[in-house]
């Protein structure tokens, strides 16, 4: 394959992943048939199998693509001299609202949407989500350590446990927010996060 062909092929693969994202985000993984993906991307069936060997392989790449993009968004968001606490809070503020996008990070979260549905269905997809969430919790843990050094964060518990509790509280908040069709759970999570990072002192 020439370099030009390889570039075109990669662009097509990304096009399929990008255009399928919204479909899967709203209908789930099982709920979206291959036919619907093909129609949505405007590609023939054979072409799909040129890029992905199965629907599960497509699901794995969709998740990995989402996680890579998420990491890059975090890099951008945190590329400043804010305190560690401000960085953590600005991240979760995006879960509530993202002025640059129509939907918030909670609304666009593929982990929230697919975790329960897919964990029992595909071991390969579960492992990608498992690693993605562990990396994210590690990044929050690192920020909590930094916050204890820059004095923006006080905590009586160990940073890894705080990061895990905060992240799972947000996962549940996003789930409840979907059920209630109301952002109150996310706002409650925001207040609880600020409270926990202040050593449980009201600020």
Complex with a copy of itself: residue 51 or 185, whichever CB lies closer: 185
Residue 14 sits in the site that holds a copy of itself (CB under 8 A): no
The answer to whether 32 and 24 have CB atoms below 8 angstroms apart is: yes
The H helix count followed by the E strand count for the chain is 9, 0
Number of residues located near a copy of itself, criterion CB under 8 A: 47
185: number of Cβ within 10 Å: 20
What are the distances in angstroms from CA 25 to CA 49, 107, 178? Answer: 22, 9, 12
Q: Which stretch binds a copy of itself (CB under 8 A): 42-50, 90-98, 125-133, 141-149?
A: 125-133
Cα distance between residue 114 and residue 61, in whole Å? 14
Query: Measured from the CB atom, is 152 or 193 closer to a copy of itself?
Result: 193
Letters for 33-62 (x = contact with a copy of itself by CB under 8 A, - = none) are ------------------------------
Residue ranges binding a copy of itself (CB under 8 A): 26-28, 30-31, 111-117, 119-121, 126, 129-130, 133-134, 156-157, 161, 164-165, 167-173, 175-176, 178-181, 184-185, 188-189, 191-192, 195, 200, 202
């Amino acid at each position: 394959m020439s370099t030009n062909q390889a570039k075109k092929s990669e662009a097509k693969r990304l096009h399929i992943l990008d255009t399928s994202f919204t479909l899967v985000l709203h209908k789930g993984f099982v709920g979206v048939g291959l036919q619907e993906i093909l129609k949505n991307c405007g590609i023939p069936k054979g072409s799909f199998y040129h890029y992905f060997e199965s629907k599960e392989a497509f699901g794995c790449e969709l998740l990995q693509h989402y996680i890579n993009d998420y990491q890059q968004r975090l890099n951008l968001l945190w590329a400043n001299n804010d305190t560690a606490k401000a960085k953590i809070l600005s991240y979760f503020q995006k879960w509530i609202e993202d002025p640059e996008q129509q939907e918030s990070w909670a609304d666009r979260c593929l982990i929230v949407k697919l975790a329960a549905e897919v964990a029992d269905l595909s071991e390969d997809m579960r492992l990608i989500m498992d690693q993605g969430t562990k990396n994210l919790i590690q990044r929050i843990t690192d920020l909590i350590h930094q916050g204890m050094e820059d004095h923006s964060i006080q905590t009586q518990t160990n940073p890894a446990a705080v990061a895990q509790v905060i992240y799972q509280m947000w996962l549940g908040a996003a789930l409840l927010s979907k059920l209630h069709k109301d952002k109150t759970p996310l706002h409650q999570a925001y207040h609880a996060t600020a409270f926990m990072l202040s050593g449980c002192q009201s600020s």
